[in-house]
Amino acid sequence: MASSYFCVIVIFLVSLPFSLAQSNGNIGIDSSLTAGDGQNPWISASGDFAFGFKQLQENEFLLSIWFNRIPEKTVVWHANISTNVILNPVLSRGSKIQVDASAGLILRDPRGVLRWHTDSIVSDASRAFLDNTGNLVLFSRENTILWESFQYPTDTLLPSQELEIGRMLISRRSEPNFSQGRFYIEMEEDGNFITFTKDVPNNRVYDNRYTIAETGIESNPDNPALKVVFDDSALLSVLRRNNQTTDIGLPFVLTNSDYYHRITLNFDGVLTQYYYPRSSSGNANWTVAWSKPDNICHEFIAQLGNSACGYNSICTLNDVKRPGCNCPNGYSLVDPNDEYGNCQPDISQSCEKSDRGSSAEHIFDFHILNNTDWPISDMQAISPSSEAECKNACLNDCLCSVAIFRSLSCWKKRLPLSNGRIDNSLDSKVFLKYRKSDAPSLRPGPQVEASRKGVHDCRTFKLTMSLLLGSSVTINVLLIGTGCLGFYLIYKKMITKNTGGSNSADVNLRCFTFIELDKATNGFKEELGRGAFGVVFKGVIPFGFTLAVKKLDSVAKDTEREFRTEVNVIGQTHHKNLVRLIGFCDEGENRLLVYEYMRNGTLASFLFGDHRPSWSQMQEDSVICMKNVLNQSRTNTGIRGTKGYVAPEWFKNTQISTKVDVFSFGVVLFETITCRRNLNDMEVGGEDEFFVLTDWGWDCYQNTLESIQENASSRPTMRTVSQMLQGIVEVTNPSFSAYT
């Protein structure tokens, strides 16, 4: 028994120095860690940082340093880019890191093959040390620094870390992939702190670069830059040889004692400073303090290679200035798992031998995007050009895949397209060419996904039942058929409910979810105008399509059947001078109408604004997008329409007919001719009086008033009105008795 106690005491005493060593960040010679064997990592004295094998997947590990007290264990350094020995940082179970007196840190895979090591200058190491700043240091027997991780950064800087001339930050391949990425940040000898890209496979440096210009760094022979410093107060600055500094980031009031800080070159090329509260109980997230560039989609243009998104992709910026990438319609990701990768056309866009003898119009057509640009990849510029000429130029050119029309100029482009981005200041149209015989459909919405889910579930059900009842083919067939039919009917019902049935589908309207429209309008933030029954907001959906979203007031929310009927009728109305209904939302109390966006404003702003059109302009055959004031309902219940445009019979107990639309049209036509509002306050003789345009017009006895007769039977049909405007039918004088 005594010997047993003695053994326990010996074991305790032997292990005590090692335990104490770990408590103060020291790691002794011959200390080692093995991936996947359950060993604890080496911890700094404060417990803030850890060094060891961070598990990525079941059998994948990363030799790294990470924030130890943060639940997500954010990596700040890893054995990868500091030397070219290890190109893929992912290690398998059984890999081993050891502190060696003659070679420093040595990393071997499970077969004993050397994967990575510290510099060869290390020859008399006495210990390793992980300090409270996150810096892993090798000391000699004389206690001098032989090697430190701060001198060989990967993609992150920590407070008290410096980036000297010639040292770089290198982004990872993607968020979960720690392999070498495309973006680099370097302090140059001329004092410029720059971002640039490389072709990773052959290590070729591209000429494109982004200078963090806000720093004011300039080449100054008398006072050259020395290094970039991320100091203890979490401020990034450039230190010059005379100890003057130039700030790069923002002065930070959140101290390093209360918050963790890091500056990371993200995989998408955005250099960002983050902070995280030390006192968090685990429910906090990294918060962005600042980032550069402000808009990488616009400010970083790669002449060779690409910027944040892959070839043929479109870059958009989110709320924290990070880019998102989307393939345009007719294109899909080469690698479905890499949303920042390249997009490829789903079908061929070039001419084929079989096309000979057919016109280009019969073979090709275009998908149209607004305010989108690929600023390089031009094959031809045409100026001046009309929109039609631009389309035809690309349509009849076998090498042209995309045409961009802007400011009376046309740019024909060939694939691949690079540096794609959304830019609402462009006022441009993009024509994406596709072959009609293989026309790609629009991106699948929720209804299509539900349908696919139904098919998937049916197959799963089918497989399960086959396994359970494999002894009887007949029973299998019956049960499988019944099961699939049931799933089909259920999902068909779901799809019908979401899309409003076959009627809505027939008019090609999209059924939006309320969440989609809330996101598109940024929480219904930018108001465009107000109508009789709702407010119209500006919205943008993926790929840059701008919409006008009308959020109906509660007083305008009919029963579901009435709402769907009106949507169906309006959706069938198509005319170049009328705003087109694109879709709708019908979710409980949330009922919204989605229209195309009128980029040049409403007819009202054109007619009643400060710069009203002249009579000669009004006579021109121009296309004017008219606001929606016409009523599409046929009912005796409830007044429909906008105040001032509503026909008198709505206020009487009489039958409502198509003539109510004729009255509304007459009011709009009269407003167009006079450039006056139908209902307005005006000052007459020093007093404010209410002004009704139709009453004033009757006094002036204008022929156009035949459309706005109070007696519906006296009004012409809409067809006759159209013929009058075209000069086909003579304009007759309105009946005085009919109006009065």
User: Starting from the edge strand earliest in sequence, which strands make up the sheet with 245-247, in order?
Assistant: 161-164, 225-230, 236-240, 245-247
Query: What would you measure as the largest C-alpha separation in the chain, in angstroms?
Result: 126
Place of tokens 């009106």: 566
Q: Half-sphere exposure of residue 418, counting CA atoms within 13 Å on the CB side?
A: 11
3-class DSSP assignment, residue 81: coil
3-class DSSP assignment, residue 272: strand
Burial 667-693 (b: 16+ CB within 10 A, else e): bbbbbbebebbbeeeeeeeeeeeebeb
Given a contact cutoff of 8 angstroms between Cβ atoms, the answer to whether 531 and 642 are in contact is yes
| Cα separations in angstroms, 485 against 453, 457, 491, 492 | 14, 12, 10, 10
Q: Which of 639, 686, 678 is nearest to 660 (CA)?
A: 639
Q: Which helix (H) or strand (E) holds 665?
A: helix 659-674
Phi then psi dihedrals of residue 326, to 5 deg: -140, 140
Residue 712's CB is within 10 A of a number of other CB atoms, namely 20
Phi then psi dihedrals of residue 500, to 5 deg: 85, 20
Q: Which two tokens stand for residue 574?
A: 């198509």
Distance CA 727, CA 715 (A): 18
Beta strands, E only, 219-283: 225-230, 236-240, 245-247, 259-265, 271-277
Q: 557 labelled as ligand-binding?
A: yes
Omega of the bond leading into 17 within 30 degrees of 0 (cis): no
3-class DSSP assignment, residue 51: strand
Binding residue numbers for ATP: 557
Binding residue numbers: 557
